[in-house]
Amino acid sequence: MSEIITFLRILFLVVDFLAANGGAQSPVESGANTRSLPPEQSAALLHTKVAAIAPEKAVQDLASTWCSAYRSSDPERLTALETREIEIVDRFGEWHHLIGLKARVHFWEDGFDMVSLKDFRPACHVRLIGLNAGVVQVRVSYDDGIALKNGDRIPRFSEIHTFVLVKVQGTWLITAQNIVQQSSQEQGQGSTPAFSPTVG
C-alpha cells in the first residue's frame, strides 16, 4: 500500500512540475489538431465536445462523459477519454500500466464482464493545475449496491475515482487513475473535498 501512495505522490509532483513549466510542448492553440491524435482520441472529439471550451467547463464535461460511459459499461468510450498510455490503480490496489488501445479496452472489458449495468449517483470535484494539467475526483455512490452477473450482489458502497488529466493538443485526457473503495460506514466521514453533482 505504501508503494502505491509513494507512486501517486511522485506522479502528482511530476504533473505539478509540468504544469508549472508549461509542459513539454509549446502553448496550445484554441482549436484541436486531430491529425496528430491516435484514431480513438480523434473520434472522442466528435462526441465529447471538450475542445476549445473554458478549461474548467471542459474538464467537467470530460468527467460527465466518463460517468456516462462507465454507467453504460462502454470500454470504447472510456478509452477514447484516455491518453495512449495510462496508469490505473484499481479498487484492489493493483497497479496497471496500459499502453495502446487494445490493452486499455481489455482492462475495462475484464471489469465489466463480472457486473451488470451500474446504477450510481456521481459527484465531482475539479482542481486545475496550471494550463495543461488537472486533478478530478469523482465520487461514485452505489446506493443499491451492484448486481453481479452470477446473481450475487455487492452491498451498498461508494468509490472515489481520482484522475490526473493532461491537455493534449487542446483536448483534456485522462493519463492516470486511482480507485479507492469506501464502505457504507466510511461515507461522509473524514475531510473530503466539496463534491458537486455531476450529470452522467
Q: Is the pLDDT of residue 60 over 80?
A: yes
DSSP string for residues in 46-77: HHH--TTS-HHHHHHHHHHHHHHHHHTT-HHH
Residue carrying the nine cell digits 498510455: 85
Q: How many CA atoms lie within 13 A of 71 on its CB side?
A: 17
Tell whether pTM > 0.75.
no
Q: Which three cell numbers stand for residue 158?
A: 461508494
Pairing relationship of beta strands 146-147 and 153-154 according to DSSP bridges: antiparallel
Contact 104, 98 (CB under 8 A): yes
Q: How confident is the model at residue 59 (pLDDT cuts 50, 70, 90)?
A: very high
Q: How many CA atoms lie within 13 A of 39 on its CB side?
A: 4
How far apart are the C-alpha atoms of 192 and 138, rounded to whole Å? 12
What would the mean pLDDT of 118-134 be, rounded to a whole number? Answer: 84
How far apart are the C-alpha atoms of 199 and 197, rounded to whole Å? 7
Q: What's the fold here for domain 2-197?
A: Nuclear Transport Factor 2; Chain: A, (3.10.450)
What would the mean pLDDT of 188-200 be, rounded to a whole number? Answer: 49
Q: Is the pLDDT of residue 35 over 50?
A: no
Q: How confident is the model at residue 54 (pLDDT cuts 50, 70, 90)?
A: confident
At 145-182, the pLDDT tens digits run 887 777 788 888 888 999 999 999 999 999 999 999 88
Domain ranges of the chain: 2-197
What would the mean pLDDT of 49-67 be, rounded to a whole number? Answer: 78
What would the mean pLDDT of 25-34 be, rounded to a whole number? Answer: 32
Q: How confident is the model at residue 144 (pLDDT cuts 50, 70, 90)?
A: confident
Other beta carbons less than 10 A from residue 120's beta carbon? 18
How far apart are the C-alpha atoms of 187 and 200, rounded to whole Å? 21
Length of the chain: 200
**21 to 15, 26, 166, 170, 173: CA distances (angstroms):** 10, 11, 13, 17, 19
Contact 125, 195 (CB under 8 A): yes
